A and B are shown apart, each in its own frame.
Chain A
């Protein structure tokens, strides 16, 4: 078990190292920091002196090491556009994205498990057929289209929900701007959350259904029926537990997809989160901000992914065996 933990954490560090290397080579190749600092008016000789002073002529590895040392301290350079530390700018937008992801996750959890289980235990009911049919349509509609459709229906035609922005926010302790405490903020959150969950939800419903159907065929479930356990106990205690194991793994794999979809959702709804900021930074070639996004999102991604794997290792005892055999 400990070996598994160490290997998993080692892998996380390697991935983080690769991300930092990519981030650094972007900084190295994209845009000239000198030009951002002094403009065009300085002569070539003076530029060379400045380059030497700033260490821009040092070997790659020396520069990378310097970059790493500063990055660990949280210094990723100043954003060209905002003229403030890039990390600060990114972290300001973090709450918006986190709340959006939380909203979507809540929707996925609340709906996918009951619907998936229902479809597995009543495979022939008309409701199951309807759900399965709807879910394949749901998988075929890209997130940004769902988002546009939601805006068109509920904002433009019906006028029930606002179509863009985060609405009113309040400040929690520690400077966390939240939209969860006001009615206006919550109203703004509903459509983006639905849009973000729209492709994951059918995916999870289908996954839970097929896993559950497989589990229900297994020997120990038949034995449980033979013992005369109640239906509820078999379905919701014995079968559901083993259904959720693979769901955790798939959930872990989907974190990256979720991050990509936040960029899409935030663009459509002009949600002031990190993804929206990232696309703006790309359009303005704001290199420090692009790098800061990569590092922050990479870190979040690696940490959550590692946590999911470790939790999986804890709840699934067979992981121990594969760890020993490999």
Chain B
């Protein structure tokens, strides 16, 4: 364990991280956002899920630094009288959770299918990659909007609202598997020809063990690079879906549904209901994208390209 730690501290990876101001800044900001949002039940001044703490008399209050604002609500309140700061903290937690789990699902599906396609080749490969092409051309957001819209219409809104978080993870998770599958397949094709694979095959290991224990660890750097971008994309897709009213419901809002509920009031001048969740969303996606760019430069994997 200590040996691994020393190896990590001395690595060029950490050296280059410490030299890059943008990477340090985005990583710290991301860490801060994750820590704050996941400790929201402890640090948030109010519990937005608890109707007893919401007073309709407090609704539509501007941020504390404006004339009509109150110090109780540093970022103001929304139309239902919920404290913006608390709802944003809770909302960020939901957005990040959905993003992470969706990407987890994508990577499990995509990595397995990519390994199979690359390792076995032939017809399985041709079929899976054709499927991936078609799936990619459909764009996640389009598939997600249609699937979720149909589910919402057939389940009814009540039931749908309870299942929303799982539906979002499932749909975003399943729709994006080709990204992983193509990247993994490309690396597997390169790794398969190397001697160590021949060696383990001579030892007599099964295909499954060769794929997952020996080839997979050597394809990790491209997986790491696309994972960052994928998390950012998943968070954006979730926000878009919630904005359309197909995602998280108003009583359990994610950043997207917060923006949606604020949008109705932007014409009457209540800019803060939209602006603060929007700012958090953009910052969150931006720092993840910047980290992804940095990782791509440092690890420089040969990503799959047409």
Contact = CB atoms under 8 A, between A and B. Distances in A.
Contact of B139 (A148, A259, A264, A326): A259
Given A30-B150, A282-B153, A15 B136 contact: no
Query: Which of A151, A246, A257, A294 is packed against the most chain B CB atoms within 10 Å?
Result: A257
Interface string A263-285: 11001100000000011001101
Contact of B263 (A257, A268, A279, A301): A268
A249 interface: yes
B150 A142 contact: no
A74 B225 CA distance: 47
A256 B145 contact: no
| Interface size of A as a range | 35 or more
B145 A253 contact: no
B100 interface: no
B149 A279 contact: yes
Query: Which of A136, A261, A282, A287 is packed against the most chain B CB atoms within 10 Å?
Result: A282
Contacts of B150: 26, 30, 282, 290
Given A156-B267, A285-B153, A141 B139 contact: no
B126 interface: yes
Contacts of B138: 256, 301
A30 B152 CA distance: 11
B286 A279 contact: no
B56 to A, nearest CB: 25
B104 to A, nearest CB: 22
Interface stretch (B43-51, B112-120, B201-209, B274-282): B274-282
Contacts of B281: 142, 145
A282 to B, nearest CB: 4
Contact of B278 (A26, A145, A268): A145
Given A253-B136, A305-B137, A148 B293 contact: no
A136 B282 CA distance: 11
A139 B289 contact: yes
A260 B142 contact: yes
Contact of A326 (B126, B142, B240, B306): B126
Interface residues of B, number: 39
Contacts of B111: none
7 contacts: A29-B154, A136-B286, A136-B290, A136-B293, A142-B282, A263-B145, A294-B146
B289 A279 contact: no
B139 A290 contact: no
A256 B289 contact: no
B244 A267 contact: yes
B167 to A, nearest CB: 14
Interface of A: 11, 15, 26, 29-30, 136-137, 139-145, 148-149, 151-152, 156, 163, 246, 249, 252-257, 259-261, 263-264, 267-268, 278-279, 282-283, 285, 287, 290, 294, 301, 305, 326
B157 to A, nearest CB: 9
B94 interface: no
A136 B289 contact: yes
Nearest to B136: A253
A107 B285 CA distance: 24
Contact of A246 (B149, B232, B274, B306): B306
B239 interface: yes
Interface string B276-306: 0010011001100110010000000000011
Given A136-B293, A252-B137, A259-B139, A148 B259 contact: yes
B29 to A, nearest CB: 13
Interface string B250-269: 00000000010001001100
Contacts of B240: 142-144, 260, 264
B65 interface: no
Contacts of B231: none
A142 B274 CA distance: 13
B271 to A, nearest CB: 7
A259 B269 CA distance: 31
Contacts of B259: 144-145, 148
B159 interface: no
Nearest to A254: B139
A264 B244 contact: yes
Contacts of A137: 282, 286
A148 B154 contact: no
A282 B149 contact: yes
B67 interface: no
Which 3 pairs, one residue from A and one from B, show the smallest C-beta to C-beta distance? A256-B139, A260-B141, A140-B286
Nearest to A210: B305
B236 interface: yes
Contacts of A249: 306
A30 B139 contact: no
B2 interface: no
B78 to A, nearest CB: 15
Interface string B128-165: 00100010111101100110011011100000000000
